Structure 1
Amino acid sequence: MTPSFYRGRRLRRTPALRDLIRETEIRPQDLIQPYFVVETSDSSFAQPIASMPGQYQFSLDRLEEQVARSVDAGLRAVILFGIPAHKDPMGTQAYADTGIVQEAVRRLKTRFPDLVVITDVCMCEFTSHGHCGILEDNYVQNDVTLNYLAKTALSHARAGADMVAPSDMMDGRIQAIRMILDENGFKELPIMSYAVKSASSFYGPFRDAAESAPAFGDRKSYQMDPANLRQAMCEAEADLEEGADIIMVKPALPYLDVLRRIRDGFNVPTAAYQVSGEYSMVKAGAQLGWIDEQKIVMESLTSIKRAGADLILTYFAEDVLTWLA
């Protein structure tokens, strides 16, 4: 009698069989598209981002046009990053009622009431020094910054945001934001925390897109050391205890082990951010003809979801919606 052994190929023989047993699928509702919106008097402004081919800085009008096309293609959620006309040391436009993010939220929620509009809550795009908090002696002050982050989150909520996403990595900011939201009638507004945000080298193109490069030094004193997995678990646990509803890991692909541990360790929705460096490397390789962009992107996103992400923030979201259709 012929010995019995596992014949996995039985279920890989045809495309239909492979589809039938596929364990991990990328769906439109898994994807969140980031957009960069600029405060400008030029309503037709749509500036290509050189280091991120296919991505733009948009005026409010052009943002609305772009989102309309994406919603028609099946986009369910966006996250907004604002670039103000004026920056100052205190980042006052981050929490101004008429700030660029607040205006973008109002515009999108009026036009697309069913679209989930998420806002990035940070100071770096709004401060003249490019750091994520308030400075004293050229050092970011953690506790002082909490009040400014809380005010920013509240201004986004009042503008109509469906969710706020603090990305600053100040200790205690989830608690500060949860408290101010609850006190002002936004108890049901969720917080997606950039809980595990590493001081990564993969953010370079984003700083061009958001015009948020620090004027001096770096962000290693408040963003996480990429080498530390145990600390990542502590950060996630702390943010959940303070009131976070979704935990994010950023970047995504180089941190799949961290993502898996977060997913296994905490019974909450988990997000991963496929960041600008990940995006730009794929784009560059595809432009040189070295890789198949669509296949690489879909394989990468599948690996992120397989590792445990319920939600994926990716600059490829618009493209993926077209491919899925």
Structure 2
Amino acid sequence: MKVFRGLPNDRARAPCALTIGNFDGVHLGHQALLARVRGAADALGLEAEVMTFEPHPREFFAERAGQPSRAPTRIANLRDKLGSLAAAGIDRVIVEHFNAHFAAMPPAEFTSRVLAEGLHVKWLMVGADFSYGAGRAGNVATLAEAGARHGFAVETLPAVLHGGERISSSAVRAALAQGDFDRVHALLGHPYAISGHVIHGAKLGRTLGFPTLNLRVAHRPALSGVFVVRVHGLGPRALPAVASLGVRPTVDDSGRVLLEVHLFDYDRPCYGKLVGVEFLEKIRDEEKYTGLADLTAAIAADAGHARAYFAQRAGALTALDRI
């Protein structure tokens, strides 16, 4: 899969079947849409293509209004989103920088300059509530009219339901915030995980007797707290661990989000390695303690909880690894 930051410069590029969206989490609803795009591309002899945005448009507008807390939390980082799009069979992804210029683009300019001239779109699928252009003035009806002028077909996909409820990124965020990983799995079609490269930390965990591998989290995640997790990428099998995802209020007042993972019975160098942290159960919310002694006691209790979790479910998790 090829990834482009902004519109490709190749004017002679192959025409495409395209879909447009944020695709946060690439849940089962997204996957159904992507499968339709892949099928249309194969049937029409086109490339299957996705246009997505960085930052999320709602993040941009929230920052611009001076209210960053109103921006949606993130289900997935860009790396994980791109991995999911590749797994769906997409040939090319356009990661469009969403800025003031893009936000102010009139709908007619978007369809002519971006879709027709820039991406050579011949077939386009969007959600039934899709809107575009400055002030969200464009909708599916105006898009279909533009498609008739520029030579591309427009289709919409009905909502994909789970238990009678529409599958959406908002539903996934709500389930993550509640620590309901069974529901998250049902909405995504796979266990929830965050990937990242292991970075150097302050080494405080090692001082406290609980060394951690640290992953930077660039955006405000859809979940926080202390969790039972498994770590993929350090060997042939996933490794049991306990993790904290949050701002570490006891030892840091910067507000920076960090994912800290304490692996059980594993103390090999991990710096620079790309790992995936799979979330299994929420233990508790993040707390601020009065001192390091209380923090150490809490970490020990969390580690004990996680070890008991793995002891009780060893057979089931081993069977899951074989699937």
TM-score between both structures, scaled by the size of structure 2 = 0.24
Q: Which has the higher helix share?
A: 1
TM-score between both structures, scaled by the size of structure 1 = 0.24
